[in-house]
Amino acid sequence: METEAAGNNLYFTFGVIADIQYADIRNGLNYSRTRERYYRNSLRLLRNAIKEWNEEPVAPNFILQLGDIIDGCNSQIKASEEALQTVLNEFTNCLSPVHHVWGNHEFYNFDRKQLLKSVLNSKHLEGDIVSSNVPSISIKTEINPDDSEAFYGYHFSPFPKFRFIITDAYDLSILGRGKSSKKHNESVQILKSYNKNENPNSPEGLAGLNIRFLGFNGGFSQEQLEWLNAVLDFSDQNQEKVTVVGHLPIHPGSTDPVCVAWNFNEMLSMLQAHSSVVCFIAGHDHDGGYYLDDCGIHHLTFEGVIETSPESQAFGTVHVYEDRMILEGRGRIPRRVLWYRER
Ligand SMILES: Nc1ncnc2c1ncn2[C@@H]1O[C@H](COP(=O)(O)OP(=O)(O)O)[C@@H](O)[C@H]1O
């Protein structure tokens, strides 16, 4: 029985929430007109989530905000700053520190330089819990906002032998970087080689998994993959349990293929080659998803707040134990027991 299993000591917990996409406008529909979007109510659902996290018997060690914190339509109505401030004001009531991930809607509202200078840059939370008998690799470095090729990524260890890595799924993207940047031009080439449509968000003519080559998706640069590989080498050697976090899902089994990262296959095979990786957490696909891959990595895609009806909820708290994590989902998010893979 689960409750009698080994490793019943709760180490720590963390909260997760995805795709809030707040805007001070009345409800609308998604592009394919199949789902309602509750732009104003998403703020109320966030408020409830924060209240519940704050009242939990074990305070969450941290919260993962998985990106798309405000909707792109704010840019058209010139309300980007105001909408962001409104959502961040809610987060100031949260007793746990918040790690922010960047999604496509961040780039509809802001460029990378603005994001790096904003509260949505949570890299200052980088670091390891210091323990005398546990090795640490955290070297605190700042990302230079004037570096037009920089990616937004960092890692932290909130508890000995556990590490979380925040990744940048729009490192290669046609969104967010200036037209003179090398990565911007590389991204235009990649996208155009698959997607011949004038509208880069149109999937017309794209078959199977190639449907992911759309302007609102993106991918990981070689530079980022090498950085991640080096962190994971350390984690493997030190028998850590690693959860990798990003806006875009990287396993087609965990999402609609229209939401998968461009070079998901490179990322996936790298993670599978590192015995320390136990879980990948993403947002972007508002319907959510889950897949346990052949190597035993859990791929969790969190249901989006924006498409959650006012009567429901969409957030979770993950309880971390020696041998498993348990996701206690609320509302649309199911409860899941995530046993760690065999080494
Ligand atoms: N099938 C499609 N064809 C053309 N444009 C699309 C299509 N799906 C989405 N878009 C456009 O892509 C952008 C992002 O789509 P949206 O569904 O709002 O993304 P998200 O799920 O991240 O909120 C929007 O500008 C939308 O109009």
Residue 314, domain member (yes or no) = yes
CA of 300 to the centre of ligand 1 (A): 22
Q: What is the pTM of this model?
A: 0.97
DSSP letter, residue 136: -
Query: Would you say residue 4 lies in a domain?
Result: no
Domain range for 270: 12-339
Find the residues whose C-beta lies inside 6 A of ligand 1.
30-31, 68, 104, 199, 201-203, 216
Place of tokens 């897949």: 291
The answer to the question of residue 85 being in a domain is yes
- Taking each helix axis from N to C end, the angle separating 222-237 and 264-272, rounded to the nearest 10 degrees, works out to 10
One-letter amino acid at 168 equals: D
Cα–Cα distance list, 241 to 4, 47, 62, 77, 93 (Å): 22, 31, 17, 44, 30
Is residue 133 assigned to a domain? yes
Please, what's the b/e burial string for 265-287 (b: 16 or more CB within 10 A of its CB; e: otherwise)?
eebbebbbebbbbbbbbbbbbbe
Pocket test for ligand 1, best of 31, 68, 260 (most atoms within 8 A of CB): 31
Closest by CA position to 173, among listed 217, 206, 115? 217
| Residue 7 belongs to some domain of the structure | no
Write out the two tokens for 62: 């941290």
**Cα–Cα distance for residue pair 234/240, rounded to 1 Å:** 9
pLDDT 10s digits, 323-341: 999 999 999 999 999 999 9
φ and ψ of 244, to 5 deg: -100, 140
Give me the number of domains the chain comprises. Answer: 1
CATH assignment of the domain containing 56: 3.60.21.10
In a domain, 6, yes or no: no
CA distances to 2, 46, 215, 341, 343 from 7, rounded to whole Å, are 10, 32, 44, 15, 17
Q: What does the pLDDT read at residue 1?
A: 43
CA dihedral (23, 27, 29, 35) positive or negative: positive
- Residues 208-236 pLDDT 10s: 999 999 999 999 999 999 999 999 999 99
Which of ligand 1's atoms lies nearest the C-alpha of 103?
A: 22
Mutate to test the pocket of ligand 1, among 25, 106, 191, 201 (most ligand atoms within 8 A of CB): 201
Per-residue pLDDT, 4: 42
3 occurs within a structural domain: no
ipTM: 0.96
For atom 8 of ligand 1, the residue with the nearest CA is: 31
Residue 73 in domain: yes
Residue 53 DSSP symbol: H
